Amino acid sequence: MSIIKNGSSIALSQGVVALSSLVRNIIIARIISPENFGVASLFALLITFLEMMSGMSIERQIVQCRVEGLKDFIGTVHLLEIVRGCLLSLGIFLVADLYASWFNLSDLGWAFKMLAIVPLLKGFINWDIAKQQRDMLFVNTALVDSIPQIITVLISYPLAIYFNDYRVVLYILIFQVFINVTLTHILSKQRYYISLNFNCIKRVFGFGWPLLLNGFLIFLVFQTDRMIIGKVFSLEMLGYFSAAFAMTIMPSIVIAKIYSIVFLPILSRSQEQGQDEEPYVMLRMLHLTLLTGLYVLSFMILFGGEVYIFAYGSEYFEGKVFMVLLGIMHSIRIIRIGPTIIATSRAQTKVIMKSNVVRSAAVLLSLCWIIMGGGIVGVLVIGIFGEISALYYQVNRINYGSNDAYLKKALNVLISIGVAIGISIYIYSAFFMIVTVIGFLIYLLFCSFCLLVWLYVFDSSVKFKNIF
């Protein structure tokens, strides 16, 4: 069974998730003010922070777990997730007032306290859904991901009209999690159960602690900007930035989810069984992430600003430049997906963590830039160079086993993306302000040509048909 056939259902569901989330954000942003949209983004910011501070990549661990110990492992995971959910819920409730005061929103402490319901509900997810991915069964996972998003899109307009402020996002977040958890119980083949196995607990924390720190670093990388903007600038500016951030990060989230669900089980199983196809799968995944990243990059540079204004309206015009720069940053992040999955499949999670340490250094430079009186554009430019540095570190530090040649191929990915970024910015500023459509088509051909040259020169043994 081909990879495309195996991943078609999850790819479709992630497309639905992305489109639904985007449409929901647009509907809400069109009705409520940018300032209220900025306040609403603070809800997601708080939940994201606490979840990333406690995330152990449970789904990845279940996919990698050996079959003979899987039942005890899932039962133990259920117990740990309940404890985690209760602690997160308590944490949100305790810091809600302080968090609201930090952004000069002391009268909204009650709203942030209500967010404590979200992690409490998520603690009761039935993780048998993740076990089905080991057998390349993605339909139920697709339904769990997509159905809550579709329902919240349908209710977003009437709720936005009724509340006409940040509360619409608060209630949608809670309702969406409730539907998601309910579906995991309905669609799981195994009934929900709890067990306690200390060896499994040791495995969870042994595998997950680098990813736990990595989650904090990812939050530092992607969310610190919004915290700075909300505190130093204004909630209105935060609304502009958050709207652009939501639109540009969506492709990277969807692509990471699809590639991880499709390729991680294959790589883990190949390594476990000692199959010779593992190097081939790794190379094919690097090809796909490079091609995808280049295409997203070209689209964001050429059309990102116009799409942003078309979606959110002229009221959000000041955020147009954020859309382009964030698009470049997240396109590089897409290219990092390939090395990240390879490192995860080989249990080299420390490499992922350390690459984000490199990326977080740019956050410190951004803080210095703000202290010196710099603006938001400078912060984003620093972030772009931070992503390039993290990519360079990551592809150099992964241990590819006996396939040292793949390290050299990964380095050429870095060279390709660096050249593509430079040429894209130059072409956009010099020519494509007028001939946008023609320029976009030419650039797509250019990206494809660069990929094929890289493919045939550095890996002449792989035929074009094997990309797919």
Is residue 455 within 8 A of residue 467, CB to CB? The reply is yes
Using the structure block, give the residue that is written with the tokens 């809400």: 28
346/343 Cα distance (integer angstroms):
5
Structure token digits, residue 435: 């001939």
Q: Which pLDDT value is given to residue 401?
A: 63
Q: What is the pLDDT of residue 182?
A: 94
**Does pTM surpass 0.85?**
no
SS3 of the chain: CCHHHHHHHHHHHHHHHHHHHHHHHHHHHHHCCHHHHHHHHHHHHHHHHHHHCCCCCHHHHHHHCCHHHHHHHHHHHHHHHHHHHHHHHHHHHHHHHHHHHHCCCHHHHHHHHHCCHHHHHHCCCCCHHHHHHHHCCCHHHHHHHHHHHHHHHHHHHHHHHHHCCCHHHHHHHHHHHHHHHHHHHHHCCCCCCCCCCHHHHHHHHHHHHHHHHHHHHHHHHHHHHHHHHHHHHCHHHHHHHHHHHHHHHHHHHHHHHHHHHHHHHHHHHHHHHCCCCHHHHHHHHHHHHHHHHHHHHHHHHHHHHHHHHHHHCHHHHHHHHHHHHHHHHHHHHHHCHHHHHHHHHCCCHHHHHHHHHHHHHHHHHHHHHHHCCCCHHHHHHHHHHHHHHHHHHHHHHCCCCCCCHHHHHHHHHHHHHHHHHHHHHHHHHHCCCCCHHHHHHHHHHHHHHHHHHHHHHHCCCCCHHHHC
Mean pLDDT over residues 194-215, rounded? 76
The structure tokens listed for 28 are 């809400």
Contacts of 307 (CB under 8 A, 6+ apart): 247, 323
Place of tokens 């930035």: 241
What pLDDT does 120 receive?
92
pLDDT band at 142 (very low <50, low <70, confident <90, very high): confident
Decide if pLDDT at 357 tops 50: yes
| Residue 468 pLDDT | 36
Among 220, 222, 218, 241, smallest CA distance to 230 is for: 241
Across the chain, what does the average pLDDT equal?
Answer: 78
Average of per-residue pLDDT across 290-299: 78
- pLDDT at site 156: 93
Tell me which long-range contacts 318-322 makes (C-beta under 8 A, separation of at least 24): 318/237, 318/240, 319/240, 319/241, 319/243, 319/244, 321/377, 322/240, 322/241, 322/244, 322/245, 322/376, 322/380
- Contact (CB, 8 A) for 175 and 150: no
Model confidence band, residue 9 (pLDDT cutoffs 50, 70, 90): low
158 versus 103: which is more confidently predicted?
A: 158
| Beta carbons of 132 and 140 less than 8 angstroms apart | yes
| Domain segments of the chain as ranges | 1-196, 221-468
pLDDT at 462: 42
127 phi and psi angles, rounded to 5 deg:
-85, 10
Query: Band of the pLDDT at 461, cuts 50, 70, 90?
Result: very low
Query: With bands split at pLDDT 50, 70 and 90, how would you rate the model's confidence at 380?
Result: confident
Going by pLDDT thresholds of 50, 70 and 90, the confidence category of residue 47 is confident
pLDDT over 80 at 28, yes or no:
yes
